[in-house]
Structure 1
Amino acid sequence: MKKLVKLNKKKGKSQITMLALSTALTGIVGFSSVSSASAAVPTITEKLTIENDLTVKQARTSNETIIEWKNWVNDRAYSLTSIQPEKVEQQKIPSSNFEDLEMLKPLLHDKRIVFLGESSHGAAEFNLAKTRLIQFLHQEMGYNVLAFESGLGNAMNAQGQIGKQTAEQTMKNAIFGVWWTKETLPLFDYVKKTQNTEQPLVLAGFDIQQQGPFTNGDWLQNSQLAKQLKDTENELVDWSFGKDLKGYQKAKPSIVKVYTQVKSQVKLKEKELKAAYPNEPHIVKLMERILSERIRLANEYVELDIQSNIELEQNNPTTFYKTMEWRDQAMLANLLWLAEEIYPTEKFIVWAHNDHIRKAQSEVMGTPYPVKFMGELLPEIYKKYSYVLGIYMAGGETASNNTREPMNVLPPVKGSIEDILSTTKKPYTFIDMRYRQNERGNSWMFEPRLSYSWGFIQESLVPRDQYDGLLLIDKVSKPNYLK
């Protein structure tokens, strides 16, 4: 789950109060589960106050320099004509609809993974823009795997049964509830329509967090074991939100035993698995992987999570940070496994929060998560052949993860990333940084600049050290959530 942050000034220091949001959808640490596909995620509220001696600053800059930067951006930025998802006509979108995205082809022609970030999970326009970008990347550039910051097993389940379900049900099975919106639904309608073409867009997940059942267990043909699996999934969620460390240590062997028993049946029930998941040809390998991950999670992670719950009540974030690192290490391992073992010849699109994908998260000043996330841990060979797009907003309102209440996006700070890019006065502004050398007019890319995470958490980062490109959406709004 992601922690939401409020910054308050106290005795010359930044006091960071972190309230745990009840969805695991931003995804930093811990588990969230739903009792059914459409149920709300259980709420947990943790409070942590950290005295942070670092003051978030950007370099002092003259008005003349800022004007110079803005003139440079005005001359070189690209403006998207639309962020609305395109309509499929006779199993294809007319290529002429993507003329405003043609500038991406030379930037991405040799890239295997395109990371699509977002500074908030609660912005309708982010969902729309990313959907249209995915349509372009898939149809025009052959990116055939779409991997979400959502459960490995849940996406497996959704892909395997995509032919049996509506686009909305596939969406709800595959991804966390923060993206269950009218703005995201066209993406799953598009995914579904591609399944019977020569170039299907395949759904995948790489998160280790629980988000509801990843299988109903019918393929086991053993109702008792299937029920044990379901009960164990729920039990694991309950433990991860608790503080009874000794109790969990006693219960852990029986939890691991159930997952081990189910895993032992996977190859024996290959025929039944393939019948249950006809649209997932890799179902055996995927099912074995998710069960192995559950065993590792039960053995390693949940105790950390419980210890973190105890320490957070004492304003001690030590183990909390360890759980965040554990999660991102596991997400990266899953993503690399998918890229190397399941889809070794395919190109990937990755959908996740900016925090997870940027290249040096631990160097971001002002972030409440000063640890190495998956983007920073990505092997160098993958960094060479990937492109990281950070997506930001300059105004409007975004939604809270758990309450879904609107939150105002703060006005851009003078000289900030949002301020510099918004000089175009266009609704959707893209700038490439990957292939830029430091020159007169673009030094802002190579030095610390302020920006807002979630529209109000002030951070300082060197843009080119974190991203390859930036997309600024001038104004965002709260998503239209589906029940």
Structure 2
Amino acid sequence: MPSIRDLSLADRIRHHARRLDGSHKDYDDLLDIIGNARFVLLGEATHGTQEFYHERALITQRLILEKGFTGVAVEADWPDAWRVNRYVRGESDDASAEQALEGFKRFPTWMWRNTEVVDFVEWLRGYNDAHAETVGFYGLDLYSMFGSISEVLRFLDQTDPEAARQARARYSCFDHYGEDTQHYGYATGIGMSDSCERAVLQQLRDLQTRATEYAQTAGHDAFFAAQQNARLVLNAEEYYRTMFRGRVSSWNLRDRHMAETLEALDEHLGAQAGKPPKLVVWEHNSHIGDARATEVGRLGEWNVGQLAREHWGKDDVRLIGFSTYHGYVTAASAWDEPPQRKRVNPGLPHSYEDIFHQVGLDRFSVNLRERNQATEALHEGRLQRAIGVVYLPRTERQSHYFHARLTDQFDAMIHIDETEAVEPLESPADQRGEAPETFPSGL
């Protein structure tokens, strides 16, 4: 049974909450909270909830139409998202959004190959076809080491065949691992074999040394994409070497890479447009909520939300979280297993999810930047749920909850009490040998 204290808090939240009823005005208050911020990070409490994708798309569309946002950066690998970017800009041979998303072949394919993402990508393509200032689609993650190697080589084959030959010689360091990044990480991490760190670092430096020449030859966007792929290889090589040493070091490397990619996008798009760009980020709550407000932050983890606030300042960054109490989610029971439509357990007693359920509204948003009785009480640490690509209901507390202080973690929270599983486009395709997306944390 809920405590009197919890019921009192629920009443206070209800008084200050903005009910979401599906109208065009749903996110008027949220856009006021965003104001003139240039970076809006939109979270999700799971990697497989239909409503989270749908509502993020609606918010992003309004940011593009009403506030001039020009880029969407997502928790996905750079080369796979770049293919989508080329499609939405009308620069590829892909005939549809579904075809443009075919680059996402690794587990968990449903994160980006789902019906909600298809609809949003088609909307972006239609918007870009009708407007001179186009909106791009970019990936922030670092799992595609071998895919990015292929993209660097493809770029150099077209622009500098001799440099391509040198790059192949450097990247051949990985050849005897059979494009198995986990094998590489284990062998180098425990000292069984030498790492390829020097080779990939030299390759990135060579690209950067000839930046002006390559940008003039291939175009600024093409060179930027190649440079990001080379940087991804460098950071992914370090990530896989540290992956078996502990969660904190590998997590921090990954989120540092994503933050640096966001910074690189800001600089590149600003130089191209002649003005500072505005970027929307789609990632899990665990990446975009300020880690300093969580128990994992106290263990030494940082994340994209924290790093963004530190780099650009709180005035230019807005962190928006999502939560749900119960329903269904698309998730696997173990790594590399097929996705299932799984029932989500009700939120644990006294958790944020439980408190929001007691508010009694199906959907609502809460402004966490305001000082009022509700936000003062929400500042108290409580359990918060995080479901990644693997969901283990039997070990719910141990596997999917951590303590957080909501008002320090986010600027606003959107709660959808009962949610439905996202619809994958198909069953997972054959794996390509690289580590699954989000491995090993699942988030």
Whether these two folds match at TM > 0.5 is yes
Work out the CA distance in 2 between the residues paired with 1:134 and 1:233.
Answer: 39
Corresponding residue number in structure 1 for 2:20: 80
Work out the CA distance in 1 between the residues paired with 2:207 and 2:375.
Answer: 56
Corresponding residue number in structure 2 for 1:393: 324
Which secondary structure does the structure 2 equivalent of 1:81 belong to?
Answer: coil
Work out the CA distance in 1 between the residues paired with 2:301 and 2:97.
Answer: 36
Q: Residues 80 and 101 of structure 2 are in contact (CA less than 8 Å); yes or no, is this contact kept in structure 1?
A: no
Corresponding residue number in structure 2 for 1:14: none
Corresponding residue number in structure 2 for 1:203: 137
Work out the CA distance in 1 between the residues paired with 2:224 and 2:422.
Answer: 36
Which secondary structure does the structure 2 equivalent of 1:136 belong to?
Answer: helix
1:304 to 242, 257, 265: 242
Deviations 1:141-163 (A, max 9, x none): 22221111222343334323542
Shift of the alpha carbon at 1:424? 4.2
Deviations 1:90-117 (A, max 9, x none): xxxxxxx622222223211221111101
Q: Residues 332 and 374 of structure 1 are in contact (CA less than 8 Å); yes or no, is this contact kept in structure 2?
A: yes
Shift of the alpha carbon at 1:271? 6.6
Are 2:418 and 1:480 equivalent residues in the alignment? no
Work out the CA distance in 2 between the residues paired with 1:170 and 1:230.
Answer: 27
1:179 to 112, 116, 121: 112
Moved more, 169-178 or 144-153: 169-178
Corresponding residue number in structure 1 for 2:279: 348
The 1:445–1:189 alpha-carbon spacing in structure 2 relative to 1, beyond 3 Å, is same
Corresponding residue number in structure 2 for 1:122: 48
Q: Residues 170 and 199 of structure 2 are in contact (CA less than 8 Å); yes or no, is this contact kept in structure 1?
A: no
Corresponding residue number in structure 2 for 1:365: 295
Q: Residues 260 and 295 of structure 1 are in contact (CA less than 8 Å); yes or no, is this contact kept in structure 2?
A: no
Work out the CA distance in 2 between the residues paired with 1:339 and 1:261.
Answer: 23
1:55-454 correspondence to structure 2 within 5 Å: 63-82=3-22, 98-162=24-88, 163=90, 164=92, 165=94, 166-173=96-103, 177=109, 178-196=111-129, 197-210=131-144, 213-214=147-148, 216=151, 217-219=153-155, 220-221=157-158, 222=161, 225=165, 235=177, 237-242=179-184, 243-245=186-188, 246=191, 248-249=193-194, 270=215, 273-274=218-219, 282-298=221-237, 300-305=238-243, 308=244, 317=246, 320-343=247-270, 345-359=276-290, 361-365=291-295, 371-378=301-308, 379=310, 381-401=312-332, 402-403=336-337, 404-434=339-369, 436-439=370-373, 441-454=374-387
Point out where structure 1 has 5 or more consecutive residues left out of the alignment: 1-60, 83-96, 275-280, 312-316
Which secondary structure does the structure 2 equivalent of 1:356 belong to?
Answer: helix
Corresponding residue number in structure 1 for 2:433: none
Letter in 2 for 1:352: E
Deviations 1:45-93 (A, max 9, x none): xxxxxxxxxxxxxxxx9933322222222222112223xxxxxxxxxxx
Deviations 1:390-441 (A, max 9, x none): 111110122325431233322123433222222343332111111x2143x5
Shift of the alpha carbon at 1:289? 3.3
Name the one with the larger helix percent. Answer: 2
Work out the CA distance in 1 between the residues paired with 2:11 and 2:75.
Answer: 36
Q: How many residues align?
A: 388
The 1:369–1:352 alpha-carbon spacing in structure 2 relative to 1, beyond 3 Å, is farther
Which secondary structure does the structure 2 equivalent of 1:118 belong to?
Answer: coil
TM, length-normalised to structure 2: 0.76
Corresponding residue number in structure 2 for 1:50: none
Letter in 2 for 1:336: E
Work out the CA distance in 2 between the residues paired with 1:468 and 1:236.
Answer: 45
The 1:365–1:259 alpha-carbon spacing in structure 2 relative to 1, beyond 3 Å, is closer
Moved more, 391-400 or 147-156: 147-156
Corresponding residue number in structure 1 for 2:402: 459
Q: Residues 114 and 350 of structure 1 are in contact (CA less than 8 Å); yes or no, is this contact kept in structure 2?
A: yes
Deviations 1:207-232 (A, max 9, x none): 22217634655442359859879977
Corresponding residue number in structure 1 for 2:439: none
Work out the CA distance in 2 between the residues paired with 1:433 and 1:413.
Answer: 22
Corresponding residue number in structure 2 for 1:469: 412
Which secondary structure does the structure 1 equivalent of 2:353 belong to?
Answer: helix
Q: Residues 368 and 410 of structure 2 are in contact (CA less than 8 Å); yes or no, is this contact kept in structure 1?
A: yes
Which secondary structure does the structure 2 equivalent of 1:103 belong to?
Answer: helix
Which secondary structure does the structure 2 equivalent of 1:481 belong to?
Answer: coil
Work out the CA distance in 2 between the residues paired with 1:396 and 1:356.
Answer: 23
Letter in 1 for 2:228: R
User: Identity, % of aligned pairs?
Assistant: 18
Q: Residues 362 and 369 of structure 1 are in contact (CA less than 8 Å); yes or no, is this contact kept in structure 2?
A: no
Deviations 1:17-47 (A, max 9, x none): xxxxxxxxxxxxxxxxxxxxxxxxxxxxxxx
TM, length-normalised to structure 1: 0.70
Work out the CA distance in 2 between the residues paired with 1:130 and 1:451.
Answer: 20
Deviations 1:193-216 (A, max 9, x none): 122213422112222221763465
Which secondary structure does the structure 2 equivalent of 1:213 belong to?
Answer: helix
Work out the CA distance in 1 between the residues paired with 2:221 and 2:384.
Answer: 41
Superposed CA RMSD in Å reads: 3.4
Which secondary structure does the structure 1 equivalent of 2:415 belong to?
Answer: strand
Corresponding residue number in structure 1 for 2:429: none
Point out where structure 2 has 5 or more consecutive residues left out of the alignment: 427-443
Q: Residues 41 and 283 of structure 2 are in contact (CA less than 8 Å); yes or no, is this contact kept in structure 1?
A: yes
Moved more, 228-237 or 409-418: 228-237
